[in-house]
Copies of this chain bind each other. A is one copy, B any other.
Amino acid sequence: MAVTVVGSIAYDAVRTPFGARERMLGGAATHFALAASFFDEVRVVGPVGDDFAPQDMEVLRARGTLVDDVERVPGGRTFFWAGEYHDNLNRRETLTTELNVFEHFEPKLSAAAQEAEVVFLANIQPELQLDVRRQCTAARFVAMDSMNLWINIARQALERTIRSVDCLLLNDEELEQLTGAPNTPAAAEELLGWGLKAVVAKQGKYGAALYTPEGFFAVPAYPLARVVDPTGAGDTFAGGLVGYVAASGAEEPTLDVLATAMAYGTALASYNVEAFGTERVAVLTADEVFDRVIALRRMTAFEAPALALRG
């Protein structure tokens, strides 16, 4: 029972206050797969160009990721993104987005990819996400990401796609933009009304919050005095979260399962930002992941002794 992820495999050019990379392995599916590979087999679906280097495919393979469904487009070039971080990493500027092989991407999943019980639809056009969703007929848990661009230019398709999945991950501002709600709890309430079983609000350096019909859960970001490159943190978080749900084997993940999944996602994302691109997670060990989950538990636990309050 592998996890299927559909999304970008990319080359990124990134500049942060701590350095730069001209052409590093990136993409939502890549970051997701590296993180989720700690929990289950991961099958990556997405296109690359002729320029995609064998050693980059090896980065995925080295963590056991199944790459049979990576489509190499003859004569095509791999998706390319260039960006720069400003204001102590609080602001990201996109310099270039070259869709390249993604421009005419039509996901054709192999039988094995279609049989996945757990699926992640990384941030691509909502129509393509819906197409993949429909091909995955055996799925018991489908999660998706998206972005403000699709809310702006493809809202109807996005809403249809959201209504076909179990779990939506978005930045908190995007959840508010999508629903028109004045705050994230109100936005999540609205979206649970669409039939979602879980809404995850990504809050960057503040952590993440989870809304389900069963209740609310929140986990802070793991505190790091040195963050080198936030690129891919959201997808790494999703990989940990969705990977843990897959490994849990639960038919329908409970709030408790999803809460632990959020902690694993947070731990993995914290490693991701310690170095450029995939550099840290590619060499990460299972013990290191578990250590930060335990640390996060300690950092959020508190006693509530029955105090005689002055009423």
Contacts and interface: CB of A to CB of B under 8 A. Distances in A.
A298 B215 contact: yes
A105 interface: no
Interface string A28-46: 0000000001111000000
A301 B298 CA distance: 10
B309 A226 contact: no
Given A225-B189, A304-B294, A309 B218 contact: no
Interface string A261-294: 0110000000000000000000001110110011
A205 interface: yes
Nearest to A221: B218
Interface residues of A, number: 62
A182 B17 contact: yes
A182 B89 contact: yes
Interface in A42-60: none
Interface in A146-194: 176, 181-186, 189
A223 interface: yes
A286 B302 contact: no
Contacts of A220: 207, 209, 218, 220
Given A88-B176, A184-B205, A216-B223, 5 more contacts: A63-B310, A88-B182, A183-B225, A189-B225, A217-B299
